[in-house]
Each structure stands twice: as structure tokens, then as C-alpha cells.
Amino acid sequence: MWADPATIAPMTYAVQLADVSFGYGEDFSLSIQELTLKTGEMALVSGGSGSGKSTLLWLIAGLLRAQSGSITVAGQRMDGVHESATDRIRARHIGLVFQTHHLLPEFSAQDNVALALMAAGEPEKSHAARARDLLNKLGIERITVPVANLSVGQQQRVAVARAIACKPTIVLADEPTASLDDASASQSMDLIQQACQEAGAALLCASHDRAMQSRFERVIQVDSFATTKRARAKPGARA
């Protein structure tokens, strides 16, 4: 039974979805009657290519807009509010880790993390120290060189540092190991899960890799929410 967010103790849930629907024309639709993720919980979103894994994460992040229903992150509604409000909630409460890291290549590791702190409205005087501390903990020593000069593995560590810099309520990881070999993928997930645990953040990770399922106590099969009528790519979006 869905409970109104106003009746739930603060921060019991990192994420709540109720009666959410989204579609790409007649080709793909996602319909979620109810989905919740508790504070600090880690879950895997599993499904094949095009099944809706990325779409689900992007809806939660406010990067896509649901056509109906409610999406609540850290007790704040992401739907039905102005885009600027969605941006503020995302900056403060949501950490994002992508398959491609979306770092600013000409900026240093420290500056990439500091920009996330700035977007979240953290006091400017704390940016440099917080960024240095996180990067050092994650094994990044060359924090002042452009991230383009770092290895792919180091860049992912910077992306993880950026994702947890503001102590988010939830980290959304979209196929974070898809381009890595088995050994690197395992190390990467160790890093992401440990970082989330230490930051007290929930983790929702999307992956088509069935081997990932053993890492999570809870697996959400997104196929049960989605209907695909024809396999056709949509400009600017992935399922």
C-alpha cells in the first residue's frame, strides 16, 4: 500500500515512486505502480538492453520527466516542480555515476569535485579541503592535473568522489562497469559500494550483467515494468 510522503518518518525512504508512467510514443512504455528504496539500501536494477534500466534512473534523477505519477527523493517531490527546483534537489541529494564519466576533461580532479560542491550550495571555503580529502581516500594523488591526463580507472574514481561529495541521499549508477574487464569491474563496484556505505548513501545501480546480482540483496527486474513494442533507438535517450 502506497503511503503519502507526509505520513512517513523523515528519510525512511531515499526514493519513492507511485503510479509512474513514461513512454516513447508507441514503441516503449514504463509503468511503475510502486517502488521504494530505503535510506542506505543498495539495490540492482537488472534487465536486458533496452529494457528500461537507464530510463528508470533518469526519471528518478529528474533528467527525464514522468508523464504521470509521483517521484520523491529524500522526501522532496521531483515531479510537478520547476526545472530549477529539480536541479537543486539533484545537486544536493543525488550522486550520479555513468558508464562514461562526464567529467570536465580540462579541469583537475579537485576542480571537478569542487564544482559538484558548488552546485549543491556548499560553503565555498570547504570545497578544496573536501575535494582533496575524498580524492586522497579514493587513491587519487594527482589531484591538480587535468583529468584527461588520468587513466580511465582513475577517472572513474574521480567520478565516484564527485558523486558522493555532497553526502547525497542516493547514488544512481548507470552501467558503471560496462566498458571494464572482469577484474576492473569487480574493483570498481567494490569502490562504489564502499564509498556509498561510508557516505551513508543508498545505491541504485543499473546493469545488464547478471554476475552483478550476487553483490546485492535486492534485485529489481525492470522488465516487469516495461513494454517494448519495437526495438528502435530514440534520439538522445537510452532505455
Instruction: List strand residue ranges (DSSP E) for 74-125, in order.
Output: 76-77, 94-98
* CA atoms of 24 and 34, how far apart (whole Å): 21
| Mean pLDDT estimate for the chain | 86
Which residue range(s) make up the domain with 134? 40-62+82-221
Q: How confident is the model at residue 213 (pLDDT cuts 50, 70, 90)?
A: very high
CATH of the domain at 193: 3.40.50.300
Query: Phi/psi at 20 (nearest 5 deg)?
Result: -85, 135
Is the Cβ–Cβ distance between 218 and 41 less than 8 Å? Answer: yes
234 falls within a domain? no
* CA atoms of 46 and 219, how far apart (whole Å): 7
Mean pLDDT score, 93-120: 90
Range in 88-92, 106-110, 137-141, 142-146 the model is least confident about: 137-141
Q: How confident is the model at residue 234 (pLDDT cuts 50, 70, 90)?
A: very low
162 falls within a domain? yes
230 falls within a domain? no
Model pLDDT for residues 17-67, shown as the tens digit of each residue: 999 999 987 788 999 999 999 999 999 999 888 889 999 999 999 999 999
52 falls within a domain? yes
Q: How confident is the model at residue 220 (pLDDT cuts 50, 70, 90)?
A: very high
For residue 190 the three cell numbers come to: 567494490
The pLDDT value given to residue 24: 84
Share of the chain above pLDDT 90, in %: 50
For residue 182 the three cell numbers come to: 572482469
239 falls within a domain? no
The pLDDT value given to residue 229: 57
Model pLDDT for residues 74-86, shown as the tens digit of each residue: 999 988 788 888 9
Whole-prediction pTM value? Answer: 0.84
75 falls within a domain? no
19 falls within a domain? no
Q: Residue 42: beta bridge partners?
A: 203
Residue 238 has pLDDT above 80, yes or no: no
Strands 68-73 and 76-77: antiparallel
Q: Which of 125-134, 150-159, 196-205 has the highest mean pLDDT?
A: 196-205
Q: Give the 3-state secondary structure percentages of the chain, helix then strand then coil, rounded to 5.
A: 40, 25, 35
135 falls within a domain? yes
The per-residue DSSP string of 160-223 comes to: HHHHHTT--SEEEEESTTTTS-HHHHHHHHHHHHHHHHHHT-EEEEEES-GGGGGG-SEEEEGG
Dihedral (Cα; 160, 165, 168, 174), 10-degree rounding? -20
Model pLDDT for residues 131-183, shown as the tens digit of each residue: 998 898 888 889 999 999 998 888 888 999 999 888 899 999 998 888 777 88
Domain count of the fold of the chain: 1
